[in-house]
Structure 1
Amino acid sequence: MMKPTTLIAFALSALLSQTAQADLTASESKLVSHIDQSNPQALALLEQVVNINSGTMNFAGVKQVADVLIPEFEKLGMQARFDSGEAFNRAGHLIAEIHGGKGPKLLLIGHLDTVFEPDSPFQRFERIDEHTAKGPGIADMKGGNIIILQALKALHKAGELADMNVMVIMTGDEELSGRPLSLSKKALVDAAEWADISLGFENGDGNPKTANVSRRGSVDWSLKVKGVPSHSSQIFQDRVGAGAIYEAARILNSFYEELRSEDLLTFNPGRIMGGTTVKHDPVSNSGSTFGKNNVVAESAIVTGDIRAVSLEQLQRVQQKMCAIVARSLPQTSGSIEFGDGYPPMGPSDGNRTLLGLYSQASEDLGQGKVEAVNPLNAGAADVSFTAAFVDMAIDGLGMSGTAGHTVDETGQLDSLPKQAKRAALLMYRLKHQ
């Protein structure tokens, strides 16, 4: 059954017009007050989950974070569970839901895992000052998970949540996706097919004045090149040609010269190996080569990724890359393959309308306007797997912070209640459109 996209977009556009410059109603003020009153408990819960190592491959740790959060959802009258990720070699996902029948179907997206495995030196929550703390995954994105909970708790306290349609998915493999993606992202896609609206609580670019109406996708590529092995004194002769390494260099330089004019596109060769023999292990992202300076290289392998802002751009660039590879220097041949990856979340009118509603909520809270972030300043995220199925989506609603994915990662603690208020007010208004 097709979703009534036009109807929802029209209704939300009307809602945006109605709420412009509006003061908070009494019911909306109750949401805000509850978040302020419960903020100490939210900070304590944040510290608790940050102190649990949940590096993606620490399956027990990922599940332990879920085990802490599941009872919090159940207290709100939601059904909550942890779905095993055994089929895609990851811990699994937390899923919580409530189906009350009122308002649009909302999908709220977080993730349980971090980039910090048990052998990382960065393991504990540390208060820096009144407004700032360090900790593994504090902004990316355990803070975002707590914001989801705080917003839902406020709606529950106000008697609003019981008859809403909300599904929460916190994945256990956002930082290092399980394979195949068709299984590891199935819960997200299934939820998106049900939902009307997706709200992602990643930290975006870390600036509370921005949110994402688009995210670039990320797709891997692998280039394999063959040449004719021979004594180096014979290179460039008709029967020997240029060798595999020269051909790989030609291809990479052509990528650089012919593709970098594409707006919002990046393409990066992350690993290159060449010589007489090449052994490549894509699972461990490693390899080995053997070759001599006086031997023309027989093989070369290059791997990298493409980040495109739309599916159309991705397909166009892939076709150009294939054409470049096919040209070939003398006595060489190459092939390029594209792997699974994160799809683009392209900008849309629906996404911009939703951002407008979120921005209006922020202004009504006295927090100022929220604008769309430049897609170049945000990486791929789980919300992208939902974008093709919902009527509208935004991301970057999580906790502000800096230095994500490093041992200096910090979170802005005062952004926790601010972002929770924005999210709660947005969901309340979506319900009562």
Structure 2
Amino acid sequence: MKLELIALASAAALLAMPAQAAPQAATRDAKLWAAAEAARPEQLKLLEQIVDVDSGTGDVEGGRKVAAILRARLEALGFSVESVKAEADGLPENTVATLNGTGRGRILLIGHIDTVFGPGAVAQRPFRMDAAKAYGPGVSDEKGGVVEGLYALQILRDLGFKDFKQIVFLIETSEERGSTGTQGLIARLVADADVELNLEPGDTPDVLTVWRKGATTFHIEVKGRAAHAGIAPQEGRNAAVELIHQIQADDVFPKSGDGLTANLTLLEAGTRSNIIPEKASAQINVRVRDKADYDKVQAVLEKNAAITVVPDTKVSINRGGEKSFPPLPTNPGTDALADRAEAIYASLGMKITRGGNGGASESALAVEGGIPALDGLGPAAGGFHSDSEYLLLGTVTPRLYLLTKLIQELGHAPPPRLK
């Protein structure tokens, strides 16, 4: 009986407590949505304009041509625009556009205009659209996101939004080679920012990127001895045969999946059909969720390099050539930004999900530098790094609304730095 009285008293006390207000659901900003819808025709027109310029990594002329188009637009929005010399040879300049406001948040937007496609790609398959998708070299990776970023800034200007301390828009030119010409610049910009928003495409059907693998490349070099393949092949030491042995010995790592992967991507040997190859080389592209896995892979490669099957050949292992990207780990800062994004999308009556992939990006550098970052904010897309690359047109306006609203919220109330 005593226990029953205690239970009844406890229940009465709970009923007497004031009810806590439920979290207020986000509501759609009708004015902002109308602006995003109105921007669509011109947004797609600008996308077509810059997609139809070849700008593969290392195409200095093409990169400068795209940058000039975007620079003029940014200057018209009141941004101070600077061309910053790349940190590696053979690359066009990076573009840094800065606008000061009257609020608190310091927001860093990052996008890249280099693609994986060489000269002549546009002539073979220029920009085109069907009812559901847009196509063309770099249409989603990442020119669609860069154009989205520019139109978000235009909408904010048109709405008179100044409730931010600073917005910096970095448009870089070497992301597809590991940001070899930009990593130092990114570190400096991250140090002066509260949050980074990355304009890489979202995965299909409508996914935010909350984790990414880091990336690096290991180079296997084999030195043998040349000889006439017909008269005295026994005097040669075939570097190609030894390289094949090394690749087979290294074939112990997963080729796909959400964890560590290591894949052969480039192979070279020999100079002529009648000469025993004196040199041979291969590149192994390694993707990791944990930076410590880089050292584990290197240890295996170096152990195998010490064991050769072709006498008098020498095998060396080098890591780099391209700078390494760290992983973007799951972390509370990114999760909190994803919560915001989900609420904004919900206000549109839409659902956005979270995921990750093996593609590296600058958001990993931002998180490593101590600020929260959210990736995959460009339009959702697929077919990356292939002739079938596409952008989902149905996500263009919702993603523009999302990015613009995030900038408004983060300008007003920036997130804390990561611990």
Give 3-state SS (helix, strand or coil) of 2:251's partner. Answer: helix
Does structure 1 residue 338 correspond to structure 2 residue 319?
yes
Structure 1 residues 88-141: Cα deviation after superposition (integer angstroms, max 9, x where no partner) = 221111211123363332111111223344422335322323x43322322122
Unaligned stretches of 5+ residues in structure 1: 1-17, 233-239, 279-287
| Structure-2 residue corresponding to 1:317 | 297
**1:248 and 2:243 aligned:** yes
State yes or no: 1:224 paired with 2:214: no
Q: CA separation of 1:408/1:299 partners in 2, compared to 1, >3 Å: closer, same or farther? A: closer
Q: Distance in 2 between matches of 1:231 and 1:136?
A: 44
Q: Give the Cα separation in 1 of the matches to 2:85 and 2:327.
A: 27
Matched, 1:372 2:352: no
SS in 1 for 2:197: strand
Deviation string 1:357-385 (CA, Å, 9 cap, x unpaired) is 22222122222132123x24xx2233333
Matching of residues 68-83 of structure 1 within 5 Å: 68-83=69-84
Give the alignment of 1:23-42 within 5 angstroms.
23-24=26-27, 28-42=29-43
Inter-partner Cα distance in structure 1 for 2:335 and 2:292: 20
Is this contact kept in 2: 1:217–1:341, CA < 8 A? no
2:390 aligned residue: 410
Q: Which moved more, 1:357-366 or 1:250-259?
A: 250-259
How far is 1:21 from its partner? 5.6
Q: Which amino acid aligns with 2:190?
A: A
Q: Deviations over 1:13-68 (max 9, x none)?
A: xxxxx99561327xx43322221222222222222222333333432332222222
Identity of aligned residues (%): 26
User: In 1, Cα distance between the equivalents of 2:74 and 2:92?
Assistant: 20
Aligned to 2:410: 430
Within 5 Å, give how 1:120-139 maps onto structure 2: 120=121, 121-122=123-124, 124-129=126-131, 131-139=132-140
Tell me the residue number matched to 2:4: none
The residue number in structure 2 matching 1:352 is 335
CA distance in 2, matches of 1:203, 1:21: 29
Amino acid at match of 1:97: T
The equivalent residue for 2:368 is 388
Shift of 1:336: 0.6
Is 1:190 the counterpart of 2:188 in the alignment?
A: yes
Would you say the 8 A contact 2:208–2:354 is kept in 1? Answer: yes
Partner of 1:12 in structure 2? none
- The one-character-per-residue Cα deviations of 1:314-356 (angstroms, maximum 9, x if unpaired) are 2232223223323445845422111133312331222222222
Q: 1:248 and 1:382 mapped to 2: Cα distance?
A: 33
Which runs of no fewer than 5 residues in structure 2 stay unpaired?
1-20, 230-234, 414-419
Residues 197, 391 of structure 1: 8 Å contact kept: yes
Residue in 1 aligned with 2:206? 209
Question: What one-letter code is carried by the residue in structure 1 that aligns with 2:144?
Answer: G
TM-score normalised by L of structure 1: 0.77
RMSD: 3.3
Are 2:403 and 1:420 aligned?
no
- TM-score norm. by structure 2 comes to 0.80
8 Å Cα contact 1:401-1:412 kept in structure 2: yes
Worse-superposed segment, 61-70 or 218-227: 218-227
Deviation per CA, 1:148-205: give whole Å up to 9, x if none: 1222222223332364421111112333467xx3x44332222122222211111143
Any idea what SS the aligned residue of 2:34 has?
Answer: helix
In structure 2, how many angstroms separate the alpha carbons of the residues matched to 1:190 and 1:291?
53
